[in-house]
C-alpha cells in the first residue's frame, strides 16, 4: 500500500514526432497511463520535437489521434485556454536555455570548438589503437575562446564515476561513465539535445517514475549525471522490454504492421488493441486473457513486467479482436462498421448494414472482413452456372429443384419472410435424404458464392422480392445446364 510519505505519482510519455506512431510507443504510453490511473497519479504527454529536421506536425497529430483512439488521456499541459496541451519541447526553448546557461556558468558545461574533421581524426586515431570513440576533452578547461574559432556544440563535463541505479524491472544497473567522454548536450543555447531537454523536463515536471523502452537504458546514466548537476530530485526508472518479431529480431514491418493506426484502419477494436498491448511484456497474476481498461488499471503492476523481449503474436491479436467483436451487439457492431462499409463502396446506412451484419458476423476477425463477406447482400456477384450443381446431383436436377423451392418460398407472405416460416416452407420441398439437392443451388442462387450463411438467413436479409429475383436468375442460368 502506498504510504502517506510517498509522493503522488507523476509519469510522462515523451514521443518524438519523427515517424508513424509505433506499437511500441503506444505500449509505452499505455504502461504509463495504467500506472498513473491505478495510483491516482498524473500522466503527462510531452512531444519531444527538438529535432527540427525530423519532427513533423502530421506525426504529432498521429500520436494524438492514436492515443485518443485507444482512450488514453493526459492530465496536464500548457494552458492554451482550452483542452490541455500537450507539452511541446519546441515551446520550451527559453527554459532549456536558462538551464544551459546555468551549467555553463557553473563550469559544468562548456563550449567545444572542435570541428567535425578534428573529431573524426580523433576517432580514427583511437580506432587505430583498437579503442572505442570518446571525446578527449580538448576544450574542457579552456580559459577563453580560441582565436578565430567558432563554438560548435555545448558539452557536459562527465565525471569519471560509476553510475548505478535500481531499475524497477531490471534490478541493479551500472555503467562506467568514464567511457562516455564529455557528451554533447546542445548544439547551442537555443538547440538543446534529447539527453539534456529530457532531464530539465522530467525535473521541472516532477516526474516520479520514468517508464520507457529498454533502448533508453544507456541514456539513463547520462541523464542521471546531468540531473545531479542541475539539482533535480531523482525519479525511479522502469525500462520496459522491446517488442520482437516471432524470430526475436526487433519488431519490423517484415512480420506485421508496426503503426498503431494501421490496426484501427483494418478494423481492430481499440479495447482489443489496448488489451493486446498491455500483454506485450506484462501479465496479470491470475490466468486472465481478456481484460477491459478498468481491469487493466486495477491489475497492472510494474514489478510484473518481464525483462525479456515481448514477442508480437498476430494470432493472439486476432483472437482477442474476435472476442471483443463478440461483445458488441448487432447495433453497435453496425455502427462501428459504417466507415468500413463506406470505404468498401457499400451502403453506409446503419439500418441497411445491421441485418447483413447479423448474418455474417460470426466469421469476422476484424471489421474490414465484414463488408467483404456481406457484399453479396448488396450486389449479387456473377457466378458460373456450374456452381449451382450440388456435388451429388445431376446438372439436370438443378432447375427443377430451384423451381420447387421458389414455389414454396413464394407462398410465404412478406410479413413472415424470416427464418421460421421460410424453413417450414422449404422443409416441404426438401428430401431429407438429399438436402443438398435443393439447399445447395438455393444458397448459390441467393449469394452467388460457394460459401455463405444459411439460405433462410440470407433471404431474411434480402427480403422476398430480391430473393425471388435471384432465384429466377438462377433458374434461367440452370436451364442451360445438361
Ligand atoms: N523522445 C524519446 C523517444 O521517443 C523519449 C525517451 C524517453 O522517454 O525518455 O524515444
Ligand atoms: Zn572540443
Which tens digit of pLDDT belongs to each residue from 124-145? 999 999 999 999 999 999 989 9
Count Cα atoms within 13 angstroms, Cβ side, for 14: 23
pLDDT grade, residue 481 (50/70/90)? confident
Q: How does 130-148 read in b/e, with b if 16+ C-beta sit within 10 Å? A: eeeeebeeebeeeeeeeee
Do the Cβ atoms of 66 and 21 come closer than 8 Å?
yes
Residue bearing cell 503527462: 44
Residue 239 near ligand 1, beta carbon < 6 Å: no
Q: Tens digit of pLDDT for each residue in 290-345?
A: 999 999 999 999 999 999 999 999 999 999 999 999 999 999 999 999 999 999 99
Q: Which residue has the higher pLDDT, 481 or 478?
A: 478
Among 394, 353, 384, CA closest to 371: 353
Q: What single DSSP character describes residue 240?
A: E
Separation between Cα atoms, residue 287 and residue 429, nearest integer Å: 51
> Nearest C-alpha to atom 4 of ligand 1 is from which residue?
15
Residue 200 near ligand 1, beta carbon < 6 Å: no
pLDDT grade, residue 122 (50/70/90)? very high
**Residues forming beta bridges with residue 154, ordered by sequence position:** 111, 186
Lowest mean pLDDT segment, chosen from 20-34, 76-90, 231-245: 76-90
Separation between Cα atoms, residue 154 and residue 149, nearest integer Å: 14
pLDDT grade, residue 5 (50/70/90)? low
Q: Three-state SS for 72?
A: coil
Whole-number pLDDT of residue 357: 95
- Taking all residues of the chain, what is their mean pLDDT, rounded to a whole number? 95
Phi/psi region, residue 463 (left: phi>0; alpha: psi -120 to 50; beta: rest), is: left
Does residue 32 carry a pLDDT above 80? yes
| Residue numbers annotated as active site | 253
Residue 349 C-alpha cell reads as: 446506412
Does residue 368 carry a pLDDT above 90? yes
Whole-number pLDDT of residue 82: 64
Residue of 194, 197, 243 with the most ligand 1 atoms within 8 Å of its CB, for mutation: 194
Among 209, 223, 224, 228, CA closest to 169: 209
Residue 44 near ligand 1, beta carbon < 6 Å: no
State the distance from the centre of ligand 1 to the C-alpha of 278, rounded, in angstroms. Answer: 19
Q: Note the helical H segments in 82-173.
A: 93-105, 116-128
Cα angle: 292, vertex 295, 299; to 5 degrees: 140
- Using only C-alpha atoms, what is the Rg of the chain? 32
Name the phi and psi angles at 462, rounded to 5: -70, -30
The pTM is what?
Answer: 0.92
Q: Tens digit of pLDDT for each residue in 440-470?
A: 999 999 999 999 999 999 999 999 999 999 9
State the distance from the centre of ligand 2 to the C-alpha of 113, rounded, in angstroms. Answer: 5
Name the phi and psi angles at 310, rounded to 5: -105, 115
DSSP string, 140-179: TT-SSPPTT----EEEE---S-EEEEEETTTEEEEEEGGG
Whole-number pLDDT of residue 1: 47
Amino acid at each position: 500500500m502506498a504510504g502517506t510519505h510517498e509522493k503522488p505519482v507523476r509519469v510522462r510519455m515523451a514521443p518524438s514526432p519523427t515517424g508513424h506512431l509505433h506499437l511500441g510507443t503506444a505500449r509505452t504510453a499505455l504502461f504509463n497511463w495504467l500506472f498513473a490511473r491505478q495510483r491516482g497519479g498524473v500522466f503527462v504527454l510531452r512531444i519531444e520535437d527538438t529535432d527540427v529536421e525530423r519532427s513533423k506536425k502530421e506525426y504529432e497529430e498521429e500520436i494524438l489521434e492514436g492515443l485518443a483512439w485507444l482512450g488514453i488521456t493526459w492530465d496536464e499541459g500548457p494552458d492554451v485556454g482550452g483542452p490541455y496541451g500537450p507539452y511541446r519541447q519546441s515551446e520550451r526553448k527559453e527554459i532549456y536555455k536558462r538551464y544551459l546557461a546555468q551549467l555553463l556558468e557553473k563550469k559544468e558545461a562548456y563550449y567545444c570548438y572542435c570541428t567535425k574533421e578534428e573529431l573524426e581524426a580523433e576517432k580514427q586515431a583511437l580506432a587505430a589503437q583498437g579503442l572505442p570513440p570518446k571525446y578527449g576533452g580538448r576544450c574542457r578547461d579552456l580559459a577563453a575562446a580560441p582565436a578565430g574559432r567558432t563554438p560548435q556544440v555545448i558539452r557536459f563535463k562527465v565525471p569519471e564515476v560509476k553510475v548505478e541505479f535500481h531499475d524497477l524491472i531490471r534490478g541493479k544497473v551500472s555503467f562506467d561513465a568514464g567511457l562516455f567522454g564529455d557528451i554533447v548536450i546542445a548544439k547551442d543555447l537555443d538547440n538543446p539535445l534529447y539527453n539534456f531537454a529530457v532531464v530539465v523536463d522530467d525535473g521541472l515536471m516532477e516526474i516520479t517514475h520514468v517508464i520507457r523502452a529498454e533502448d533508453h537504458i544507456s541514456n539513463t546514466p547520462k541523464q542521471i549525471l546531468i540531473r545531479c548537476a542541475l539539482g533535480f530530485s531523482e525519479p525511479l526508472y522502469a525500462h520496459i522490454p522491446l517488442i520482437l518479431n516471432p524470430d526475436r529480431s526487433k519488431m519490423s514491418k517484415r512480420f506485421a504492421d508496426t503503426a498503431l493506426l494501421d490496426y484501427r484502419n483494418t478494423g481492430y477494436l481499440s479495447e482489443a488493441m489496448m488489451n493486446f498491448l498491455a500483454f506485450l511484456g506484462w501479465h496479470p497474476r491470475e490466468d486472465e486473457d481478456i481484460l477491459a481498461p478498468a481491469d487493466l488499471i486495477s491489475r497492472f503492476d510494474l514489478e510484473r513486467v518481464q525483462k525479456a523481449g515481448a514477442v508480437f503474436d498476430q494470432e493472439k491479436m486476432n483472437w482477442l479482436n474476435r472476442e471483443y467483436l463478440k461483445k458488441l451487439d448487432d447495433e453497435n457492431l453496425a455502427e462501428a462498421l459504417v466507415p468500413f462499409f463506406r470505404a468498401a463502396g457499400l451502403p453506409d446506412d446503419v439500418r441497411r448494414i445491421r441485418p447483413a451484419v447479423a448474418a455474417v458476423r460470426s466469421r469476422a476477425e476484424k471489421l474490414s472482413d465484414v463488408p467483404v463477406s456481406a457484399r453479396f447482400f448488396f450486389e449479387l456477384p456473377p457466378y458460373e452456372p456450374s456452381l449451382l450443381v450440388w456435388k451429388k446431383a445431376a446438372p439436370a436436377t438443378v432447375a427443377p429443384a430451384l423451381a420447387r423451392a421458389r414455389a414454396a418460398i413464394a407462398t410465404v407472405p412478406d410479413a413472415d419472410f424470416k427464418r421460421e416460416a421460410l424453413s417450414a416452407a422449404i422443409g416441404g420441398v426438401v428430401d431429407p435424404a438429399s438436402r443438398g439437392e435443393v439447399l445447395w443451388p438455393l444458397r448459390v442462387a441467393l449469394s452467388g458464392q460457394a460459401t455463405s450463411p444459411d439460405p433462410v438467413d440470407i433471404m431474411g436479409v434480402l427480403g422476398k422480392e430480391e430473393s425471388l429475383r435471384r432465384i429466377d436468375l438462377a433458374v434461367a442460368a440452370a436451364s442451360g445446364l445438361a
